[in-house]
Structures are given as C-alpha cells and as structure tokens.
Amino acid sequence: MRAINKIIIHCSATKEGNNVTASTIDQWHKNRGWKGIGYHYVVAIDGSIEYGRSIYETGAHVKNQNEGSIGICYIGGLGPSMEPKDTRTPEQKESLLLLLKTLKKMHPEATIHGHNEFSAKSCPCFNAYEEYCNI
C-alpha cells in the first residue's frame, strides 16, 4: 500500500445537474494523454460512489501532490453561467463525508484538502479543509 498523507477533493467542473460518470472522466483524461482517470473516487449527483484509479496506484489529480495522496472528485462545481459554485447535493455531501471518514480510518495521519489549496483554481468550489478538518 502507498503511504497516504493527503486526501484531496476536486469537482468535475461540470454544470450543476449535469451528471457524468467515472467512465466519462476516464475518457476525458485519456484524451489529455494520461493513462486514464486521475481520481481514485468519483461521487455522483445521486451520492453513489464510483471507483476511478486504484488507490494502490499514484493518482493524477494535483501537480506535485499525487505521490502520497488520494483524489476524490464530486460531479458538479459550476453554476448555470459556468461560474464556480458548490453544487454538492445532499446525497453527495452525505456520501463524501462517509467516504472521508472511511479513508481517515484507513489513513489516520492523512489531512483533507481542496484542490484549490495547491493550485490557483476554484476547485472544489468550497473550503474543504475548513469543512472537514475535524474528521
């Protein structure tokens, strides 16, 4: 198992209500020349969780942070005019919290972050560190 010191949350940068799947993201990332989906988990609008890249493999989701991290992507992150917006549904919030609690039990030393802490991006369009710092 890889040594995990960070869990990093992302959004898919898709419009609110536009549900895409891990398979769709996998194709997007392959189109960019990557070997496949860079995230380890994807949280759909209905709260279902799909697997992406194996957690035994290094992800491809944050420059210079992939080696010791797990990447989680929730579907959404953009409002009707393509502006950054926290579009998480109640189901996504519930599933994301459960997933984070599970991952923290597996990797108690890992800290939880948003992509925006490592890059000049809005992603995940909310303050992940603040919201989940007590897990």
Active-site residues: which are they? Answer: 10, 39, 115, 121, 123
Cα separation, 71 vs 10, in Å, equals 7
The answer to whether the beta carbons of residues 74 and 88 sit under 8 Å apart is yes
Cα separation, 10 vs 98, in Å, equals 16
